[in-house]
Amino acid sequence: MPTPPKRATIMNVATEAGVSKSLVSLAFKDPSKVSDERLKRIRTAADKLNYSPSFVAQTLTSQSSPFVGILVLDLHNPIFIEIANAVRRTLAQHGEFGLMMSGSEESSDQPGRPYGTLDPQVLHMLQSLRPKALIVVGTANQEKELPAGIPIIYASAAAAASSHHTCVRADDMAGMELLIDHLTDLGHQSIAFAAGSSGAVTKERQEAYENLLATRGLKPTVLTGDYTEAGGYQAGKALLEVEPRPTAVIAVNDLSALGLIRAAEEAGVKVPEDLAVAGFDNIQLAGIPRISLTSVDPDKAKIGELAAFAAMEGIAQGATRVELLEVAPRLMARTSTLGAGT
């Protein structure tokens, strides 16, 4: 095997340009402090040697990091990817580089680990590189282990009351009310809820579901599940054993709703004729004609945009305001509750 060419170093550039190593470093960090003649020599040498500054080295040797961290808690959940892409796009439009990284895996893939458990290696990397700011997409359990002294923003999640961080998320009460009104308008009086495994999101959505049913004089039926298709499938199998069986079910998210539909179809229960199914998050899969899942659209692009702006404001001011930014959701009514041809 041929030996790969060695990457040019800052010392190679300094030798080629006839200047000191420290001057080359300054030229890349703050070119305004280097004379035009020397800056031209350094850039010519760097181009000739195909040299670019080490991203990690810049981070470790500088008091300010060159990137904003985007920590995605679950790469299996499409809503987090869509929000993270909106964050990165907004940062780029304003001259900031967003570095996306995976924070954890689904609890179903690692038995015994609670949903939202952070990877220790990722935590160590964040502590070492110390981004300008950190945007956490999803629920993180070890909040105290995140880097201190930088703006931290939560997107599509709820931080602990004592965290003193800004949260940007959909108005879950409003979203659940859209679903309940939609289903009761269709004549459903027995509506179940497939809950998530843990975390503030499932807690708030379940509380909204129970409170809204209570105001309408309806009885709640809560099923144990999680945020995955497999969890929804198990909740669906449990639902089919309930007597009398509810005529409609709301899942904590769209992935869970897809599992509910699979369980119903395997049992010969028709959706929506025998069981109306609705989800939450309006992921891209929900709009595919073959699936056509009724869902709540939380406006993922807006959540990502507001989270990016909150991070940039925190960078500029050295601190972030502690506030909850709720985005108004909208109902996307489709075949899974309305039936074909509607």
In order of 59, 225, 239, 260, 288, the CA distances from 230 in angstroms are 41, 9, 14, 9, 20
Give the pair of three-digit tokens for residue 229.
């298709």
Percent of the chain with pLDDT over 70: 89
d(CA 261, CA 277): 7
pLDDT of 252 strictly over 90? yes
At 185-229, the pLDDT tens digits run 999 999 999 998 777 788 899 999 999 999 999 999 999 998 899
In order of 45, 55, 58, 117, 169, the CA distances from 17 in angstroms are 6, 22, 20, 49, 51
Q: For residue 31, what pLDDT is reported?
A: 80
Three-state secondary structure call for residue 256: helix
Global pTM reads 0.79
> Cβ atoms within 10 A of the Cβ of 140, count?
25
At 11-45, the pLDDT tens digits run 999 999 999 988 988 888 778 888 999 999 999 99
Instruction: Answer yes or no: are the C-beta atoms of 140 and 118 closer than 8 Å.
Output: yes
pLDDT of 64 strictly over 90? no
Confidence of residue 84 (pLDDT cuts 50, 70, 90): very high
d(CA 327, CA 269): 35
Which one, of 289, 287, 237, lies nearest residue 266 by Cα? 237
Which one, of 71, 50, 53, lies nearest residue 61 by Cα? 53
At 255-271, the pLDDT tens digits run 999 999 999 999 999 99
Angle at Cα 315 formed by Cα 313 and Cα 319, nearest 5°? 80
Q: For residue 5, what pLDDT is reported?
A: 62
Higher pLDDT, residue 286 or 159: 286
Q: What is the mean pLDDT of the segment spanning 54-83?
A: 77
Q: What is the DSSP string of 321-337?
A: ---EEEEPPEEE--HHH
Give the pair of three-digit tokens for residue 304.
């990502």
Q: For residue 107, what pLDDT is reported?
A: 46
Q: What is the mean pLDDT of the chain?
A: 88
Cis peptide before 111 (omega within 30 of 0): no
Q: What are phi and psi of 174, to 5 degrees?
A: -65, -40
Three-state secondary structure call for residue 203: helix
Confidence of residue 54 (pLDDT cuts 50, 70, 90): low
Which one, of 275, 87, 126, 102, lies nearest residue 190 by Cα? 275
Q: For residue 121, what pLDDT is reported?
A: 83
Q: For residue 169, what pLDDT is reported?
A: 93
Which one, of 149, 137, 127, lies nearest residue 74 by Cα? 137
Percent of the chain with pLDDT over 90: 61
Confidence of residue 341 (pLDDT cuts 50, 70, 90): low
Q: For residue 149, what pLDDT is reported?
A: 86
At 306-336, the pLDDT tens digits run 999 999 999 988 766 778 899 999 999 999 9
At 93-142, the pLDDT tens digits run 998 999 998 887 544 345 445 666 778 888 888 888 889 999 999 877 77
Domains of the chain in start order, with CATH, are 10-53 (no CATH), 68-170+299-327 (3.40.50.2300), 172-298+331-338 (3.40.50.2300)
Give the lowest-confidence range in 5-14, 137-146, 154-163.
154-163
d(CA 286, CA 78): 11
Residue in the structure block whose two tokens are 């995976």 = 102
Higher pLDDT, residue 129 or 250: 250
Q: What is the mean pLDDT of the segment spanning 168-172?
A: 94
Give the pair of three-digit tokens for residue 81.
């990817």
d(CA 130, CA 140): 18
- Gap between the terminal Cα atoms of the chain: 63
Cis peptide before 31 (omega within 30 of 0): no
Confidence of residue 58 (pLDDT cuts 50, 70, 90): low
